[in-house]
Amino acid sequence: MPQSHDNVRAMRWREDTLELLDQRLLPAEERWNRYRDAPAVAQAIHDMVVRGAPAIGITAAYAVVLSSLQHEGDLAAILADMDRLAAARPTAVNLFWALERMRPLVEAGATAERLLVEARAIHEEDIAANRRMGELGAALIEGGEVLTHCNTGSLATGGYGTALGVIRSAWAAGRIEAVHADETRPWLQGSRLTAWELVHDGIPVTLNCEGAAAALMRAGRVSWVIVGSDRIAANGDVANKIGTYALAVLARHHGVRFMVVAPASTIDMGTESGNDIPIEQRDPDEVLSLAGRRVAAEGAQAWNPAFDVTPAELVDAIVTERGVVERPDSAAMRALMSGS
């Protein structure tokens, strides 16, 4: 993959400080915010300074290092910070996965230096997994145009991306002709972040509002819908950014294939089905307003779930670094996670 197609990063560790690229300000401004304590990082996760399940998990791992540096062996204080981090976003299972990976080290009294080694390992492993998923997912695509939703690239991960990593790999291999990106209301991650990433890395992108997806498919313009996930249940049901379920229904109606790309850490075998996945409800003002200015009529109310659940039967392939599951169900997911 040419370096020009992988230049974006969402977080970096410098001189005992975590720096996060403030994604709320993109694409107008590229501002790096600096954090020295875990509660501030937890607030940043909640406030969408950083977002995307893998990126949230990596950020939380680095925040545990900050907590260790601040509290110098005070186990109770560090564990309290970890609880604050876990409460920041309830749907993204990678957040809990990363914290649980750090927990045995914390409880064993590991130094901040040792915790930093583990956080960096989580970060580096995510990038390697994304590149592997990019290869596996791209191999499924035989040409045409693709549609993606929300942001699943370097900004949402440690680097390279999940669904956008597949798109990067497929573009480099000449397997796709064009990329379409949904704008993704209410935070506009598609228009602000995905479009910015692809333009930044030299991959042409066409933006469309969600309401245009059906017409795009009906016109025969899309061969694959490629999305990420914040949590995948044991039966293959997929929780992802609100609007994903609608795309899956449209794709099935129009004969368009539907691919979910996510690391194995996103798969929650302890959650039986999508019905058991907690769906984060966010501030109605995110829907009632745009860029800080109210656009809805005064007195109107809003329903603002951050995610929806796509049933496994609407998914053609789940791509992980461990392999590809086509037509996912409980048996296939167990086989993937057990390595059989």
In sequence order, what DSSP letters do the residues of 128-167 get, joined into one string? HHHHHHHHHHHTT--SSEEEE-S--SGGGSSSS-SHHHHH
* C-alpha pair distances (Å), 314 with each of 148, 228, 262: 16, 14, 16
CA atoms within 13 A on the CB side of 99: 24
Task: Report the SS3 class of residue 61.
Answer: helix
Determine which one of 6, 81, 230, 316 is catalytic. Answer: 230
Q: Based on DSSP, count helices (H) and strands (E) in the chain, helices before strands.
A: 12, 16
Residue 136's nearest CA partner among 336, 297, 307, 290 is 336
CA–CA separation, 120 and 126 (whole Å): 10
> Cα dihedral sign for 185, 187, 188, 193?
negative
CA–CA separation, 11 and 157 (whole Å): 9
* Burial call 195-206: b when 16+ CB within 10 Å, e when fewer: bbbbebbebebe
Structure tokens at 207: 């933006």
Q: In what order do the strands lie in the sheet with 323-326?
A: 206-208, 178-182, 145-148, 224-227, 257-261, 317-320, 323-326
Give catalytic status of residue 230 as yes or no: yes
Catalytic residue numbers read 230
